[in-house]
Amino acid sequence: MRDRVWIFVGLAVFVATLTCPAWYALVHRKASSQPPNLQMPANQKECVAPAGSMRAAHIQMLIQWREDVVRRGDRRFVAFNGKVYEKSLTHTCLGCHNKQQFCDRCHAYSGVSTPYCWSCHTDPQSIARNAP
């Protein structure tokens, strides 16, 4: 039992390491279990797919749209409710959603880095804001 001190020190270090993300978050007040305050579109009630599948798989849909438009020239999207949309990130998605208040907020909350879509694709609302 002469090593009792070392065993407890080792245990303390282990527990501290294990719980450090929680402590870090508490100190920096960055993460929270509260869902992000997203600005919902004012002009539309329904998205191109049910909210749950958009939340889970919007990137798959965007990739599908990209392939359809660029490689097949197919720009017409018939939604689950029969509505017809243009397959366009700028016109359809950002026609309703605000990039900064919707996309970016949720990506920041989920810890998903900003995708490189935006190095080419533009946000029409921020362009309109910056225009002289």
Partner 1 sequence: MRITRKDFLCLSGLSLLAAGCKHSARSVSRPASGAQASTQPVRWGMVIDLRKCREKDGCNDCIHACNTAHNIPQIANRAHEVKWLWTEPYATVFPAAQTGYVPQSDAETTVPLLCNHCADPPCTRVCPTQATWKRDDGIVMMDWHRCIGCRYCIAACPYGSRSFNFEDPRPSIVGINPDFPTRTKGVVEKCNFCEERLARGLKPACVNACPQQVFTFGNLADPNSEPRQMLRELFALQREPELGAGPSVFYLV
CB of residue 92 to partner 1, shortest distance in Å: 13
What 8-state DSSP symbol labels residue 42? S
Among 39, 44, 60, 90, binds partner 1 (CB under 8 A): 90
CA distances from 16 to 19, 21, 22, 28, 55 (A): 5, 9, 10, 17, 34
- The residue among 39 and 90 lying less far from partner 1, judged by its C-beta, is 90
CB of residue 38 to partner 1, shortest distance in Å: 22
- The residue among 70 and 79 lying less far from partner 1, judged by its C-beta, is 70
Q: How far apart are CA 8 and CA 76, in angstroms?
A: 66
114 binds partner 1 (CB under 8 A): no
What 8-state DSSP symbol labels residue 89? I
73 binds partner 1 (CB under 8 A): yes
